[in-house]
Amino acid sequence: MLARRENNLLSLLPDVAYREMITSLGMSRRGIVLVNDPALVAQVMDTDAALFPKNDLFVGALEGLVGDAMFVSSGERWRSQRRTLEPTFGHMHLGRAFAGMAAAVADARPQLDAAASSGARFSLDATMTHLTADIITRAIFSTPLQQSTARQVFDAFDVFERGVENVSVRQLLLGAPWAPVPQTQKVRTACQTIRKLVGDLLDARLSGAAPPREDIAGAAIAARDPQTGRGFDREELINEIGVFFLAGHETTASALTWTMFILSQQPLTTKRIRDEVSAIAGDAPLQLEQVRKLPFVRNVLKEALRLYPPITFLPRVAAEATTLGDRRIAKGTMLLIAPWSIHRHERLWRNPDRFDPDRFNPEREHEIVKGAYIPFGTGPRVCIGAAFATLEATLVVAELVRSYDWQACAPEKVWPLARLTTRPTHEIQCQIRAVGRT
């Protein structure tokens, strides 16, 4: 039985993880090598993708839900999926998604206003997860989360995530390379539920019963591989949409939870955000072009993503015995590329643990070591939703900070945990006050 502490991979990282450029973690049945050196990271992620595919454990944990979707596939299959879906996240689609983002923020306000008036405590994590799930549901299907099918998808995802993460840490430490990843009946049922619900929503589109829409589902249905002309069949669409839902809300929820937590301790930064927002929009709701012109909010987000990268680890596996730098790597070794340790590495960052959003100012950007900032990954498999997430998070932070003062309860007890994304060990309880009220 694993001790509770050992279920948190972050607490297993030794001090050398933040000092060495490459180090063996040697804590499991399979070899695990942590790679921090940006040049070696680039070799693994950019050049030798066939030699270093996504880790088998990670793929095994997700495949019941998303089959061989772009997030987990490799080789020519991945290249075709990526080519086909790239335009779905292009500039034009982002402009359309913005309306749904703004509507979701507006719909969150009554509940936040009520919490502000009553002074009631509420969970920061749950609030941010609900908001980002609402935003991604509107972006994919043009429907708000409260609509009952969307709500059922969300609830089933919650069951899936909780079940999968326990298995994955256990399996990582105790399992042999390429061993099957066991899933509980609960997780298998959640996968079937999600696939059925997403399938029903898709069928309404495919059969013409629901009107065509210019949302992510509509774009994915219409998408064709520019080289082969091939589109996705129904099962493939369910796979890809499952990933968009999962990767598209858990990550941004993690980013927003940590950003708001940090801001609750940073009154001067909070004031600078309010001044920037007010200078560009006064008291009016923010418009798309204004959100794109909030450099300080962007820097705050960048710095929060540095200190708390939502995807803590990007695991790869050595498909063959090889070398990395001067280190021999046995076949089946897990290569852990960890934005977490790279972003807090003492040889890559000055004052690595300090929150300093101005380090991303253009005049200081030369201080950032190339390849040392990778919250969205790096190389050809870099996050396809990065622009979407940045727009969304900038809007949410700007709107929520201009309207409310955020206070985290017992901040000294907040501690990070590597789950599917980087989350606090326990939900952060917070209280808010309407800005201007004492």
Per CB under 6 A, residues contacting ligand HEM are 54, 70-71, 82, 243-244, 247-248, 251-252, 255, 310-311, 314, 375-377, 381, 383-385, 388-389
Q: Which is nearer to ligand HEM, 342 or 383 (by Cβ)?
A: 383
Smallest separation, CB 193 to ligand HEM (Å): 21
> How many CA atoms lie within 13 Å of 233's alpha carbon, on the beta-carbon side?
3
Residue nearest to ligand HEM (CB): 385
Smallest separation, CB 384 to ligand HEM (Å): 5
Q: Which is nearer to ligand HEM, 360 or 388 (by Cβ)?
A: 388
Q: Which is nearer to ligand HEM, 34 or 255 (by Cβ)?
A: 255
C-alpha torsion sign, points 437, 127, 270, 262: positive
Smallest separation, CB 287 to ligand HEM (Å): 21
Q: CA-to-CA distance for 273 and 72, rounded, in angstroms?
A: 37
Q: Which is nearer to ligand HEM, 4 or 370 (by Cβ)?
A: 370
Smallest separation, CB 63 to ligand HEM (Å): 14
Smallest separation, CB 62 to ligand HEM (Å): 11
* Cross-strand pairs, 405: 433
CA distances (Å), origin 416, targets 31, 193, 310, 319: 25, 30, 11, 31
CA distances (Å), origin 391, targets 101, 102, 147, 291, 375: 9, 11, 24, 7, 15
Strand order in the sheet with 32-35: 22-24, 32-35, 334-337, 314-317
Q: Which is nearer to ligand HEM, 422 or 431 (by Cβ)?
A: 422
Phi, psi for 54 (deg, rounded to 5): -60, 145
Q: Which is nearer to ligand HEM, 175 or 315 (by Cβ)?
A: 315
Q: Which is nearer to ligand HEM, 314 or 317 (by Cβ)?
A: 314
Q: Beta strand pairing status for 334-337 and 404-408?
A: unpaired
DSSP letter (8 states) at residue 43 = I
Phi, psi for 33 (deg, rounded to 5): -115, 125
Smallest separation, CB 88 to ligand HEM (Å): 9
Smallest separation, CB 437 to ligand HEM (Å): 31
Q: Which is nearer to ligand HEM, 45 or 414 (by Cβ)?
A: 45
Angle between helices 234-263 and 386-403 in degrees, nearest 10: 40
Q: Which is nearer to ligand HEM, 245 or 404 (by Cβ)?
A: 245
Smallest separation, CB 224 to ligand HEM (Å): 18
Q: What is the residue-wise DSSP string for 207-248?
A: TTSSPP-SSHHHHHHH---TTT-----HHHHHHHHHHHHHHH
DSSP letter (8 states) at residue 53 = P
Instruction: Extract the tokens encoding 140.
Output: 């994919």
Smallest separation, CB 220 to ligand HEM (Å): 11
